[in-house]
Amino acid sequence: MRIKRVFRPILAGAALGLMLSFPQSSMDAARNALLLFSKSVLPALFPFTACMLLLTAGRSFSLFPLLIFAYLGGSPAGARLFADARLSPARAQRIARATGLMSPLFFTGTLSAWLNDPKAALLLLFCHYAGGMLLLFPLSKGDKEKIALPPLSVGSALQQSALAMLSVAGCVTLGSVGARLLSCALPFLPRLPLALLQSVFEVTSGSKSLISLSPPLLLPLLSFFTGMNGFSILLQNAVCWGKHGISLSDLLFYGILRGIISFLICFMILLCHPAYFAV
């Protein structure tokens, strides 16, 4: 706790100093992030989140149907689904480990186009889901109990979905600005280390940079960073999981575990079929 009290002000102060030092780069990054959000994220995520809440509100489900919704919606729709559910602390931790994944559309649409290889994108999607599912185990007896979700009116579902979108917009902007300021503050770094650091802050732009560089182990590296999610997506999920006492540091730890598992699965598949997934 004492480390957090010291680390947060230092990090925030450094970010403010960099924004004042590179104001134009900071505003350009924020502007581009909000443009990307309004054109790509909001049109897909808002209607899905609203319909998902309306479909599940006031009903009880076993765990796995809710996980399907969470995986199809990606982040933070999956975390928002469980935000108001009645969960024990242990069960909430287990679900948080297994969810918080990225939308399948990011793999089948965005990454597939950037890689110009649908097979490689499907491999990354498989490794991504496998990393999340493996962290769900071991299951306990309590996981057989159904999860009751609170009732919602149409207006409340729309309002909560809209508030979630505002959180997403803020987190995407903050992550994009952080990644841009990092490149401004460390201009001496080679492109590959900079792309790796960029992926820690904002996985979408970081993935695009990695693909443009095409380093060795490109697909396993993409598996790791999409599994970890990046600071921007972790913040989005932390807003929803905070009601269950799950912190950003908890989600970062789970993300790193997912990333390691996804990396290893991808690496082993490539060892067995190197030519089939050559990028």
Q: How far, in Å, CA of 186 to CA of 160, rounded?
A: 39
Residue 6 has pLDDT above 70, yes or no: no
Angle between helix 2-21 and 154-185 (nearest 10): 70
pLDDT above 70 covers what percent of the chain? 94
Residue 66 has pLDDT above 80, yes or no: yes
Average pLDDT (189-208) is 86
Whether residue 67 contacts residue 100, with contact meaning beta carbons closer than 8 Å, is answered with no
Confidence label for 59 from pLDDT (cuts 50, 70 and 90) = confident
Residue 268 has pLDDT above 90, yes or no: yes
Tell me what the pLDDT averaged over the chain comes to. Answer: 85
pTM for the full predicted model:
0.84
Average pLDDT (84-104) is 85
Residue 256 has pLDDT above 90, yes or no: yes
**What pLDDT, on the 0 to 100 scale, is given for residue 4?**
59
The residue whose two tokens read 């990354």 is: 124
Whether residue 37 contacts residue 44, with contact meaning beta carbons closer than 8 Å, is answered with no
Q: Which of 104, 107, 112, 115 minimizes the C-alpha distance to 211?
A: 115
Q: How far, in Å, CA of 161 to CA of 166, rounded?
A: 9
Average pLDDT (34-56) is 83
Residue 222 has pLDDT above 90, yes or no: yes
Confidence label for 39 from pLDDT (cuts 50, 70 and 90) = confident
The residue whose two tokens read 């540091």 is: 249
Average pLDDT (27-39) is 85
Residue 5 has pLDDT above 70, yes or no: no
